[in-house]
Every structure is written in structure tokens, then in C-alpha cells.
Amino acid sequence: MAKVDRRILKTQEAVKKAVIELMAEKSFDAITIQDISDKANVSRGTIYLHYMDKYDLLDKLIEAHIEQLRTLCESSSELEFIEATEIWSRYFEEHYAFFSLMLTSKGAPYFRTRFLDYLIDEVKKEVNVTEGKNQGFDQGVIIQFVASALVGLVEWWFANNRPVSQKVLAEQMGRLLERNL
């Protein structure tokens, strides 16, 4: 795999940061490429070198975070739920600006759908309906229940400006997962 020029990475990070900052000020639909260009201090042409349009930019930003969550899940697959949710919640805390925008009214509804789809894929790996506490339950019901609950919990945490600490969120989310999976 070819090494990416640091200048390109720096430009892409500036553009992504600009979009997040602009979304804190106004709706995504109201943001223009010129707004992003001005905020990131790059030319419009530079943005178009990396992205087809603002929707492509947002999609790539969302996919990068989903992919990072996937990587975190894979790297913590052998951990207990509480330890794994500690890693996850730390990532949410580190990227507070992005997730709070995506999961509140200012965000992109597409993100919530992508996040739920991702969680459904992850929860499928943990559900066992042939034995244990979920024996006899419909697998689809369990998967939808747990994934939707996780999205709702994370959404609540961001929408309410982190009413509990990241540590408390991780511990209680982990315990709830242990009870239900």
C-alpha cells in the first residue's frame, strides 16, 4: 500500500474538521463547498480533488468513524463487555464533536441509520438463542433490541451533554450487555 503524503492527510483533516465545525453552526443542507473551503483554508478545487461533493465528504467522514469502531470491536473481541465498552466510550469521548452532531437534531439522519446497521452486524456475533438466557427467543428480536438500545443510549448520552461520565457509561453499558447477551 502506497504511503499517503502528509500534506494530503493534513488537508483532508482540515476539511473534515471544517465540516464538523460548520455543522455546529448550521444544518448540513445549508453548508456549501465554499463554506467548507473558507473554514478549512483550502481552495474549492482542493476539496474536489478529494471528494465529489459535500455528501461524499460526509459519507467518507461517517464511514471512517464506523470503520474505526469496527476496528475497536475486533481488537476488543476477547475482552469482557465492560472492558470493551470502556474502549468504545473513550472513542466517543475523544470524538465528541462528531458524534454529538451526528446523533442530535443537527446531525445527519443517515449517520444514525449507518450506526444502527453497524451495531446490528456486531450484535449478531454475540447472540446465542440455542442456549443460555436467550434460548428460545427469536434471534432477530434480540439483535434489534440490543442494537437499538445501544444506539438510543449513546444518542441519549450525547443529546444530554454527557449526563454521566464516560467511565459510568462504559461500566453500565457493559453490564447491560452482559445481562442481555
Mean pLDDT score, 10-28: 92
> What superfamily does domain 1-51 belong to in CATH?
Homeodomain-like (1.10.10.60)
pLDDT at 105: 64
Mean pLDDT score, 2-26: 89
Q: How confident is the model at residue 56 (pLDDT cuts 50, 70, 90)?
A: very high
What would the pLDDT profile of 72-113 be if each residue is shown by its tens digit? 989 988 889 899 999 999 999 999 999 998 988 666 678 999
Tell me if residue 43 falls in helix, strand or coil. coil
Cα separation, 145 vs 26, in Å, equals 33
Q: How confident is the model at residue 16 (pLDDT cuts 50, 70, 90)?
A: very high
- Residue carrying C-alpha cell 455546529: 24
Q: Which of these, 118, 74, 93, lies nearest to 170 by C-alpha position?
A: 93
DSSP per residue, 128-144 = --SSGGGTTS-HHHHHH
DSSP-assigned letter for residue 87: H
Cα separation, 164 vs 118, in Å, equals 24
Q: How confident is the model at residue 14 (pLDDT cuts 50, 70, 90)?
A: very high
* Higher-confidence position of 106 and 14: 14
Give the cell for residue 132.
Answer: 443460555
pLDDT at 106: 61
Model confidence at 148: pLDDT above 90: yes
Mean pLDDT score, 152-179: 94
Residues of the chain with CATH 1.10.10.60: 1-51
Cα-only R_g, the chain: 18
